[in-house]
Amino acid sequence: MNDIAHDLFHFAGFTLDRRCRTLFLGGRCIDLRPKSFDVLCCLVEQAGQLVTKPTLIETVWPDVVVSDESLTRCVSDVRLALGDSEQRIIKTLPRRGYQFVAPVEHNPTGPPLPTDSVTLISQDGTAGGKSDVVGKLGVSGAWRFGGVLAGIFVLLFAFASGAWWLGQPLLAPVTGQQPAVAILPFMNLSDDPEQAYLSDGITEDLTVSLSKFGNLDVIARSSALHYKNETVDARQIGQALGARYLLQGSVRKDLQQLRITAQLIDTRDNRQLWAERYDSQLDAVFAVQDVLVQKIVISLAAHISKAEIERMLRRPPETLTAYDDYLRGNALLRTLQRDSRGSTLAKVRTLYERAIAADQRYALAMQALANTYLLAWLEPSADHPIGREFQHQTTIDHAQSLAQQAVDLDASLAEAQATLGWILYWQHRMSEALAAFDRALQLNPNLVDGRYAIMLSHGGRAPEAIEYTQRIMRLDPFYPPNYPYYLGKAYFFVGRYEEAFELIEPASALMPGNRPPLVLLAAVSALTGRQAQARAAASEVLRIQPDFTISGWLAFLRLASQDYANRLTQGLRIAGLPE
């Protein structure tokens, strides 16, 4: 235990240690974002006095220009942590500022605080050891977004601050294998159907956050989307997705008010494990998501480590405006079609740029912006001036610069690492690209990204590509046809030609006119003695690309393994393709 003196403030059962920048309730640590903690300190230090918004902003952000929205967000975070929904601790004085109204006792040289580890809570809500601070977590019902949530934070953030390990789940123990959970698309119950981007964004955020836990299998969002606006029995969905648990929910936005409902269901017997309702201000949406994710994890996971909890706590943007523009950009990007590719990309890019303008440290928006430049570089767009960026060196260089900025802003962001890795791949920096994707997979063990399978195979790591592709096909049971193609390619490179053919032939048929599957089909057909199919595939390749050569194709692929290159060369020669 640390034995240095602490600068302590005691109020409403809480203790704030200004020197060590920690907040405690009953000896348990409650986490706050740095700026939110600074706001709390400023208010506590001037307890009983009016603290104006300009004063708070100047104190907390002395060298940065921020809007009132950033301050409002921090105050909301603090109130959530304190369970102060009724403003009994921090009172808002309209158009003036805030006042800390709870009595405060200041002990500038206080003794060190105990930080006992939190022990398990059984399914009936009783403590299994030292901790008796939190009541039931498995109870169903409508929670007010206040004191009860503070209790959850006391337990859950203590996970992150203490160096300890949970030995068993709190709810619905799982034995024999990792539990698989699917987050079904949250329903948009707002009066405006265009608000669907918010419910979709919350669904995606929850999926990504849960994916970071290595001892949970999280079904890919693309497969869960098959059940958007569908009324299907939970058992059927569970069987189709291979998911033991389903999270269902809804989002209703009314001006600045937000209501999120959620229920966790065991698909084996349609049993509802818990159901909650969260009513809050719109700017508290990130805190709601964190609570939901942590509640799911402690309900299902067999072991939770400090590192996993910390990795899950995604850094939110400073302003709700930034988040809103980012979600709108994501929603628009999903509508990308070939005939309007350029104009859509331009609109998406504008939304991401607006998000970054609102929060220059918003790494998630930064990596998304980088991706728009990569997409413009990869494929032509005839409908918009953005088409001039196709295969232009400055375009991919700018994409790489933006992706690197995103990683520099938040090295724990798997999306940024993956985007950077894919850009580096196209810059022919294979070892760096694989390192970035390896890091992304460490950060998000449930990462479903077929690009990684390509890079593993081309980087000389086909056995790993087999293992990874099999896993993502299980996590994304409604997988696209390119996944079997990626698996077939990996089989091909390790010499498992029959297995490769069984996958590549149907995949190629589902992707007509796509060169890579056709080229590989020609090679694998030749090496398995299917000469007629090999010649037919080779003929189709030459029809699509009359100047195709084996040497040119190998230069395009840049295979790291000479053995892989030799296998491919042999098959393409037998198929009759020119050197």
Pairing assessment for the beta strands 187-188 and 245-254 based on DSSP bridges: parallel
Pick the CATH number of 6-110 from 2.60.40.420, 3.90.650.10, 1.10.10.10, 3.30.70.3270: 1.10.10.10
Q: Which of 284, 322, 291, 308 is nearest to 412 (CA)?
A: 308
> Per mean pLDDT, which range of 94-103, 459-468, 564-573 is the poorest?
94-103
Going by C-beta distance under 8 Å and a sequence separation of 6 or more, which residues neighbour residue 18? 7, 8, 9, 41, 45
Q: What length does the chain have?
A: 579
373 in Cβ contact with 426 (< 8 Å)? no
pLDDT over 90 percentage in the chain: 44
What does the DSSP 8-state code read for residue 579?
-
Give the C-alpha separation, 520 to 550, whole Å. Answer: 12
Number of CB atoms found within 10 A of residue 253's CB? 19
**Parallel, antiparallel or unpaired: strands 6-11 and 180-183:** unpaired
The pLDDT value recorded for residue 129 is 33
**pLDDT: which is higher, 452 or 146:** 452
The verdict on domain 317-447 having CATH code 3.40.190.10 is: no
So what's the pLDDT on residue 122? 28
342 vs 20, residue with greater confidence? 342
Question: Does residue 19 or residue 537 have the better pLDDT?
Answer: 537
Q: Is the pLDDT of residue 111 over 70?
A: no
Confirm if 396 and 403 have CB atoms less than 8 A apart: no
> What is the pLDDT of the chain when averaged over all its residues?
80
CA atoms within 13 A on the CB side of 31: 19
Token representation of residue 425: 């791949």
- What is the model's pLDDT at position 157? 37
The answer to whether 172 and 266 are in contact (CB under 8 A) is yes
Distance separating alpha carbons of residues 23 and 13, to the nearest angstrom: 11
Please measure the distance between the N-terminal and C-terminal CA atoms of the chain and give it in whole angstroms. Answer: 71
The answer to whether residues 186 and 202 touch, using CB atoms and an 8 Å cutoff, is yes
* Residue labelled with tokens 């104006």: 52
CA distance 403 to 320: 22
CATH superfamily of 164-312: TolB, N-terminal domain (3.40.50.10070)
Predicted confidence (pLDDT) at residue 266 exceeds the cutoff of 70: yes
Tokens of 490: 């990996």
446: helix, coil or strand? coil
Query: What is the per-residue pLDDT across 392-446, written as a single tens digit (0 to 9) for each?
Result: 999 999 999 999 999 999 988 999 999 999 999 999 999 999 999 999 999 888 8
Sign of the torsion angle spanned by Cα atoms 213, 218, 221, 227: negative
3-state secondary structure string across 107-153: EEEECCCCCCCCCCECCCCCECCCCCCCCCCCCCCCCCCCHHHHHHH
Q: Is 270 left (phi over 0), alpha (psi -120 to 50) or beta?
A: left
327, 317 in Cβ contact below 8 A? Answer: no
The C-alpha atoms of residue 436 and residue 414 are separated, in whole angstroms, by 9
Q: Is the pLDDT of residue 296 over 90?
A: no
Determine the Cα–Cα distance for residues 138 and 170; give it in Å rounded to an integer: 8
Condensed to tens digits (0 to 9), the pLDDT of residues 346-384 reads 999 999 999 999 999 999 999 999 999 999 998 888 778
How far apart are the C-alpha atoms of 351 and 406, rounded to whole Å? Answer: 17
Phi, psi of 64 (to 5 degrees): -130, 140
Domains of the chain by residue range: 6-110, 164-312, 317-447, 454-579
Q: Where does the pLDDT of residue 549 fall: very low under 50, low under 70, confident under 90, or very high at 90 and above?
A: very high
Could you tell me whether strands 271-281 and 180-183 are parallel, antiparallel, or unpaired per DSSP bridges? unpaired
Q: In terms of DSSP bridges, do strands 105-110 and 187-188 run parallel, antiparallel, or are they unpaired?
A: unpaired
C-alpha to C-alpha distance for 326 and 350, rounded to whole angstroms: 10
pLDDT at 141: 31
Q: What is the dihedral of CA 479, 481, 486, 487, to 10 degrees?
A: 70
Tell me whether domains 317-447 and 454-579 share a fold. yes
* Cα–Cα distance, 235 to 45 (Å, whole number): 55
Is domain 454-579 classified as CATH 3.40.50.720?
Answer: no
Residue 389 and residue 349: Cα distance in Å, rounded? 13
* 9 within 8 A of 106, measured Cβ to Cβ: yes
Residues 335 and 344: their CA atoms lie apart, in Å, by: 8
d(CA 424, CA 432): 7
CA 577 to chain centre: 43
DSSP 162: S
